[in-house]
Amino acid sequence: MNTTALDPLLDLTVPPQPVMETAADPAASSLPARPRILCVDDEPHVVEALARLLFDRFEVHTATSGRAAIAQLEQNGPFTAVVTDMRMPELSGVDVLRVARERAPDTVRILLTGHADVESAVAAVNDGSIFRFLLKPCPPEQLRSALDAAVAHERLLRAERELLEETLKGALKLCMDVLTLVHPQELSRASRVRRIAALLTDAVPEADRWCVEVAALLAHLGAVTLPPQLLDKLHTGTNLTASELKMAERLPAVGAQLVSDIPRLEPVRDILLFQRTWFDGTNSPAPGISGNAIPVGARILLIADDYDVLESRKLSIAARLRVMEGRIGQYDPTLLAALRVALRNIPDTATGDESVVVRLERVRVGMIFAEDVIGPNELTLIGRGQEVTPALVERLRLLAAPLRERPVRMFPARFN
């Protein structure tokens, strides 16, 4: 006989869950996805009651310990919201919410507890950055209302982030388009540095790939301020005079200035500010900052940038690494070792053995130019190392027929 269950801790009057149809519902795929909620409590009957209460409006996942909750966050996340009890064995609700904040910042965090002491509440707010603090017994409508507000808040955060990302992408594209028109060689250099930086970032869990790649591009935007002769030297890896070296080393600072007033790009700005800082602290813009205190993105870009200079001198991969490993105190030794490992399966651009020759009109998205494309009047149209994008394919279609039919040496898409 069906009866109504009453949970004294939650004050939840919960009807028994109806039997779910096992046959596939042909209309199910057209239904909007329900918000995904993770409910955590060390009392199994509590999470069961929560699941019965919320199943009709949410996709409910449950965990009966802090460790199980963290496993859920790692394996099944992200969730729209996490609802957790405060006091649990081993890991408390505050511990769970702290991990949720670190690994899924957009997940809304709610604490549901029968222990309303001030100390716990302060810890939850400060360490877990909670959205709501609910006390047991919690009326069902109050819990549902809190979760509805959590869903709306998560959607707002996601929309704001997506808007910011799209705005930034548009702004960066504009900047790169300007660089393409003014200094295509420097854009190709930025593309090469970005690829090496991406290899290193993949090997370093704490590095934010997006920030590092944006910094790699912006670091070269200041090239519009440099004389063409200096840009040619940078592109070919020619040794610079003292005054030229001073001008070149200002490029990251110019990029940092460009982003200094853009909200949420502070990590990118810091990467640019410290990009030319050696691991031993030499050239640091802030006295006393050295070693692991230097932003990891800056340590990555220093290696990627200097590696590209050596590549421009036609040195083999082995020779480039030997030179860099001989510069004691300049690079993070852990990152340099990671670079050696990451380069094992990368074709050696110095030999060009992996390149193929195709007509310019037949290059495809993802390929990489193994040589410069020189146009009329000895102007560089496309720099060595630039990756073929859909926009570049469209630009190539507008070239005069003799240029489009010119053979060019390319690295295949798998090189990327």
Q: What is the structure's pLDDT at 21?
A: 37
**Within a domain: 174:** no
Q: What is the CATH number of the domain that holds 383?
A: 3.90.105
Point out the least confidently predicted range of 24-33, 67-76, 119-128.
24-33
Point out the least confidently predicted range of 110-119, 272-281, 365-374.
110-119
Task: Report the Cα 391 to chain-centroid distance in Å.
Answer: 23
Could you tell me the two tokens for 161?
Answer: 């982030």
Q: What is the structure's pLDDT at 347?
A: 65
Q: Is 255:272 a contact under the CB 8 Å cutoff? A: yes
Domain check: are 203 and 286 in the same one? yes
Q: Residues of the chain with pLDDT > 70: what percent? A: 77
Determine how β-strand 81-84 pairs with β-strand 108-113: parallel
Using omega within 30 degrees of 0 as the cis cutoff, is the peptide bond preceding 137 cis?
A: yes
Domain check: are 242 and 99 in the same one? no
Q: What is the structure's pLDDT at 116?
A: 56
**Within a domain: 302:** yes
Mark which of 346, 377, 394 sits at the end of a domain.
346
Q: What is the pLDDT of residues 56-85, one digit of tens each?
A: 889 999 999 989 999 998 888 789 899 988
Q: Is pLDDT larger for residue 410 or for residue 12?
A: 410
Average pLDDT of span 97-116 = 81
Residue with tokens 């993802």: 366
Q: What is the CATH number of the domain that holds 300?
A: 1.10.3210.10
Domain check: are 250 and 335 in the same one? yes
Label residue 366 left, alpha or beta by phi (over 0 means left) and psi (-120 to 50 means alpha): left
Q: Mean pLDDT in the chain?
A: 78
Domain check: are 105 and 221 in the same one? no
Question: In 10 A of CB 226, how many CB atoms?
Answer: 20
**Within a domain: 22:** no
DSSP string, 132-197: EEEESS--HHHHHHHHHHHHHHHHHHHHHHHHHHHHHHHHHHHHHHHHHHH-HHHHHHHHHHHHHH
Mark which of 291, 324, 346 sits at the end of a domain.
346
Could you tell me the two tokens for 395?
Answer: 């630009």
Domain check: are 251 and 385 in the same one? no
Q: How many domains does the chain have?
A: 3
Q: What is the CATH number of the domain that holds 96?
A: 3.40.50.2300
Domain check: are 304 and 276 in the same one? yes
Point out the least confidently predicted range of 127-141, 168-182, 287-301.
168-182
Pairwise CA distance, residues 87 & 92, whole Å: 5
**Within a domain: 163:** no
Helices (H), ranges, 260-412: 266-273, 296-312, 317-325, 333-342, 390-397, 401-404
Which pLDDT band holds residue 25 (cuts at 50, 70, 90)?
A: very low
**Within a domain: 95:** yes
Domain check: are 260 and 327 in the same one? yes
Domain check: are 89 and 141 in the same one? yes
Domain check: are 337 and 357 in the same one? no
Q: What is the pLDDT of residues 391-414, one digit of tens each?
A: 778 778 877 778 888 899 888 865
**Within a domain: 38:** yes
Burial of 131-150, coded b for 16+ CB within 10 Å and e otherwise, reads bbbbebebebeebeebbeeb
Q: Does the pLDDT value for residue 1 go beyond 60?
A: no
Domain check: are 191 and 244 in the same one? yes
Domain check: are 191 and 336 in the same one? yes
Domain hosting 278: range is: 183-346
Q: What is the structure's pLDDT at 349?
A: 61
Q: What is the structure's pLDDT at 16?
A: 44
Q: What is the structure's pLDDT at 19?
A: 36
Domain check: are 227 and 276 in the same one? yes
Mark which of 293, 321, 346 sits at the end of a domain.
346
Q: What is the structure's pLDDT at 87?
A: 83
Q: What is the pLDDT of residues 256-265, one digit of tens each?
A: 777 777 767 8
Could you tell me the two tokens for 288?
Answer: 């006393």
> In a 3-state reduction of DSSP, which class is residue 249?
coil
**Within a domain: 177:** no
**Within a domain: 166:** no
